[in-house]
Amino acid sequence: MKFSLNPITAKKLRRFRQIRRGFVSFTILAVLIGLSLIAEVLVNSRALIVRFEGKWYFPTYGAIIPGRTFGLDYDYATNFRELQARLEKEPERGWVLMPPVPYDPIENCYPGEFFRPRAPSFAERHFLGTDQLNRDVLARVVYGFRNALIFAGCYIVLTYLIGVSLGCSMGYFGGRLDLFGQRLIEIWSQVPFFFVVIIVASIVSGLGGMNLGWLLGVVVLFSWTSITWYMRSVTYKEKARDYVHAAEVIGAGNTRIIFSHVLPNVISTLVTFAPFSVAAAISALTALDFLGYGLPPPTPSWGELLRQGTSNLSAPWIVASAFGALMLVLVLVTFIGEAVREAFDPKKFTIYR
Amino acid sequence: MADAPILEVRNLVTAFDTDAGQVIAVDGVSFQCHRGRTLGIVGESGCGKSVTALSIMRLLPQPMGRILGGEILFDGRDLAQATPEQMYQVRGGKIGMIFQEPMTALNPVHTIGRQLAEVFLLHKTRDRAEALRLAIEMLKHVGIPSPEVRVGEYPHQLSGGMRQRVVIAMALACRPQLVIADEPTTALDVTIQAQILDLMQQLQAELGMSIMLITHDLGVIAEMCDDVVVMYGGRIAESGPVEAIFENPSHPYTRGLLDSIPRLGGQRKSRLRIIDGMVPALKDMPPGCRFQNRCPFAVDRCRKDQPAIEQVAPGHAVACHRWREVVAGAAVSATS
């Protein structure tokens, strides 16, 4: 059978494209995500290309290149900005091409100096200034965005995996599983989320430190309930449909009915939840980082930037960058979510139009 | 044995557990469905027709519905005792089922070709291309024009009659020995109804299957069936060959049903005859005969004793204490 989109799905996609605000937001966000995936090429303290004494070097990816390779007097990773400055004086030995933003998110750019936030400067290529530890704010915003995306992606996959499998079994098989599952969700959703996260975070940091896995685990532990609840009710509803009976009547087993009859019918509504889940995940991560219970320093994150910014209001570029980035992404995601919801609204596809 | 019935139901008792306690929906129903013949089950809403069908397919809503007793002998095997794995083989393979609502009996997200091919994949072949080829053949069989195009379409692109043809194709795909049709024409226009019924008869003649037709439309029964079972309140009121039931209705309920059909020759704008009263709820059925509160023939005995099944004629049975008076009364009213 050749691959072809269900005409209804095709229509939904067409409708989504017609909703300008959502589609433009989607394009912008897609570009931003694409750029963040190649962030090493755009924002990095490693050079893109080094031409040194007749040899080519591409230090962006791969192992660090010790300073001696370029005739410097140290064995640790080359400081390419220094190398660039040096080679500009002796152009016959070679040259260095740096990324547009030549800073790393975790390096303290002026190690000898007294740490202070530096104002944005095009000359120094700190386009959004530096934070209180002299780290480039733009670099931290970009890599913080990537961390938030990774977090949101894993969050969605995990919550949907748990929610769909548990919710589907509860709705489909019913009986005791359903009864106890419902009570468990009711009780579990009453547990205050932030308290538990704070408690778990303090225990975990005693055990050896918070990391993405732990944080994800804790957040997912409190987020699977809503999608499970939703999946349970739609499966329950879907199970009573005639085509499910029809599938039973032709001799199809439970697995087949769930995967080929129930799930495809609820997938379109699940899609409409996804953008809002992304927004929820990003806000949760930022909130936890802001409170200091998120990813450990020096991981770049927006919540951590916000915290620095609010305690250094004399350097408004820090808080403005973090807030601006957060706002932009959340607004884009929400616009996309609204557009998806509208495009997938079943009422638009009735024959009474 | 060629004339052994394909399906024999003996004393089937099916119950539902509800919040108000156990409710017996089908109470001691027995009937036979012969090879190559059509059995009609008729009765009003809630009389247990559909529950009987679901019991045979073992598709009662779980965990509320249960078969409490009786035997469902299909081709000599008792389906009431069959394991779920055995039932997967029976459903679709040996017994097909046609649903009332062709609008909802097809999954909106799959092409009809895929849904039809599913039957073949479950019972006949493992090869997808072969299954699709069989699906196209089956669509042609049920009279769908240009089936090669239609297999790639989705249910919402077909009309109601077409969809019912697809549903019939799905039920008949594996040449089952018995097809249970649960009000197959109720949701269709009258003209389409006639086409669908014709199609079913034609396919029955070709494939030699038996049909168990569940309906509340006596017109459909007269058109289609060889034998009839009239159900009331979870029990059989009357059963027999279709001619006997229509010519010599021996149960007051059957008579009531036949009297309430409008007739072309009758007086115009006269009120239709109705059966007074309501079916009592299943959980507070009175002792004795279940039709007593609506029956013009009811006497004290009907309120105490459950009527036994009596033979009116060979093959024609009725469960009524006063069937002789009913038959005599029918004769009187016919002459008057």
Three-point CA angle B81, B83, B88, nearest 5°: 120
Greatest C-alpha distance within chain A: 83
Partners of residue A174 in chain B, C-beta under 8 Å? 62-63
Percent of chain A whose predicted confidence (pLDDT) is above 70: 95
The CA-atom distances, in angstroms, between B138 and each of A245, A267, B169, B201 are 21, 30, 6, 16
> Which whole number is the average pLDDT over B184-205?
85
Average pLDDT over every residue of A190-218? 81
ipTM field: 0.70
Min Cα–Cα distance to chain B from A184, Å = 21
CB atoms within 10 A of CB A123: 5
Q: What is the distance between the alpha carbons of residues A128 and A122, in angstroms, rounded to a whole number?
A: 9
Among A65-74, A265-274, B82-91, B180-189, the range scoring the smallest mean pLDDT is: A65-74
Residue A349: its pLDDT value, please?
52
For A233-276, the pLDDT digits (tens) are: 988 888 888 888 888 888 888 888 888 888 888 887 788 888 88
Nearest to B92 among A242, A243, A250 (CB): A250
- Chain A nearest CA to B65, separation (Å): 13
Per-residue confidence band for A184, with pLDDT thresholds at 50, 70 and 90: very high
Closest CA of chain A from B224, distance in Å = 23
Please report how the helices A263-291 and A224-239 are oriented relative to each other, as an axis angle in degrees rounded to 10: 170
Pairwise CA distance, residues B272 & B323, whole Å: 24
Point out the residue among A242, A251, A253 whose CB comes nearest to the CB of B99.
A242
Direct distance between the N- and C-terminal alpha carbons of chain A, in angstroms, rounded to an integer: 33
Q: CA B178 to CA B208: how far, in whole Å?
A: 9
Structure tokens of B190?
């009258």
**Residues B243-265, mean pLDDT to the nearest whole number:** 85
* A82-93 average pLDDT score: 82
Pair of tokens at residue B206: 């070709």
Q: How far is CA B79 from CA A135, A281, B61, B87, B328, in A?
A: 76, 52, 17, 8, 41
Asked if the model's pLDDT at residue A62 lies above 80, the reply is no
Tokens (6 digits) for B320:
């009524």
For residue B99, give the nearest of A174, A175, A246 by CB distance. A246
**A3 part of contact set with chain B, CB < 8 Å:** no
**Which pair of structure tokens corresponds to residue B322?**
């006063």
B99: nearest CB among A7, A245, A252: A245
Peptide bond into B145 cis (omega under 30): no
How does pLDDT run across B137-168, given as a tens digit for each residue? 889 888 888 888 888 888 888 888 888 888 88
Q: Give residue A91's pLDDT.
A: 80
Residue with tokens 């049709």: B181
Among the partner-chain residues B104, B109, B122, the one whose CB lies closest to the CB of A242 is B104
For every residue of B58-83, DSSP letters joined together read T-PPTTTEEEEEEEEEETTEEGGG--
How far is the CA of B275 from the CAs of B9, B254, B257, B293, in angstroms?
A: 29, 10, 8, 11
3-state secondary structure of B40: strand
**pLDDT tens-digit map of B46-104:** 788 888 988 998 888 877 888 998 899 988 888 888 888 888 888 888 898 888 777 78
Q: Is the pLDDT of residue A71 over 80?
A: no
Return the pLDDT at A353. 39
Q: Which range (A115-124, A193-202, A217-226) has the least confidence?
A: A115-124
| Reported CATH class of domain A7-37+138-349 | mainly alpha
Residues A227, A273 contacting (CB under 8 angstroms): yes
Mean pLDDT for chain A? Answer: 84
Give one DSSP letter per residue of A283-349, joined into a string. HHHHHHHHHT-SSPTTS--HHHHHHHHHH-TTSHHHHHHHHHHHHHHHHHHHHHHHHHHHHT-GGGG
Whether residue A352 lies within 8 A of chain B, CB to CB, comes out as: no
Mean pLDDT to the nearest integer, A326-350: 83
For residue B49, which amino acid is it?
A: K
CA distance A250 to A238: 18
**Quick check: B35 and B204 in contact, CB under 8 A?**
no
Q: Quick check: B333 pLDDT over 60? A: no
- Which amino acid, one-letter code, is at A292? G
The DSSP bridge pattern shows strands A94-97 and B178-182 to be unpaired
pLDDT > 50? residue B285: yes
Distance (Å, rounded) from C-alpha B222 to C-alpha B24?
30
Give me the half-sphere count of Cα atoms (radius 13 Å) on the Cβ side of residue B281.
5
d(CA A209, CA A56): 40
Three-class SS state of A191: coil
The first and second tokens of residue A334, run together, are 């929400």
**CA-CA distance, B21 to B34, in Å (whole number)?**
36
All residues of chain A having their beta carbon less than 8 Å from the beta carbon of residue B113 are 1
Q: Cβ contacts (< 8 Å) between A348 and chain B: which residues?
A: none
Place A218 in a pLDDT band, splitting at 50, 70 and 90: confident
User: What pLDDT score does B305 carry?
Assistant: 86
State the pLDDT at residue B1. Answer: 44
**Between chains, do A265 and B118 touch, taking CB under 8 Å as contact?**
no
Distance from CA of A8 to the nearest CA of B (A): 9
Q: How far is residue A116's CA from residue A138's CA, in Å, rounded to a whole number? A: 16
pLDDT at B11 over 50: yes
Mean pLDDT in residue range B227-250: 90
Q: Vertex B200, ends B199 and B205: CA angle to 5°?
A: 100
What letters, b where the CB count within 10 A reaches 16 and e where it falls short, cover B206-242?
eeebbbbbbbbbbebbebbbbbbbbbbbbbbbbbbbb
pLDDT of res. B227:
92
pLDDT bucket at A12, cuts 50 / 70 / 90? confident
DSSP label at B5?
-
Predicted pLDDT of residue B336: 41
pLDDT confidence of residue B330: 62
Strand ranges for B227-289 from DSSP E: 227-232, 235-241
Q: How far is CA A12 from the centre of its chain?
A: 26
Distance, CA of A109 to CA of A120 (rounded, Å): 14
pLDDT at A162 over 90: yes
Residue of A128 and B180 predicted with greater confidence: B180
Residue B335 in this model has a pLDDT that exceeds 60 = no
Specify whether the backbone of A266 is left (phi greater than 0), alpha (psi in -120 to 50) or beta. Answer: alpha
Give yes or no for residue A31 having a pLDDT over 90. Answer: yes
Question: Is the four-CA dihedral B53, B56, B62, B67 of positive or negative sign?
Answer: positive
DSSP state of A250: T
Confidence at residue A111, expressed as pLDDT on a 0 to 100 scale:
64
pLDDT at B331 over 70: no
Residue B282 contacts residue B305 (beta carbons within 8 Å):
no
Residue B172 exposed, middle or buried by CB count within 10 Å (0-12, 13-18, 19+)? buried
SS3 of B227, please? Answer: strand
Residue spans per domain, chain A? 7-37+138-349, 45-98
Q: Which residues of A touch B97 (CB under 8 A)?
A: 246, 249
- B332 falls in which pLDDT band (50, 70, 90)? low
pTM: predicted TM-score of the whole model, two decimal places: 0.75
Cβ atoms of B108 and B115 closer than 8 Å: no
- Minimal C-alpha gap between B106 and chain A (Å): 5
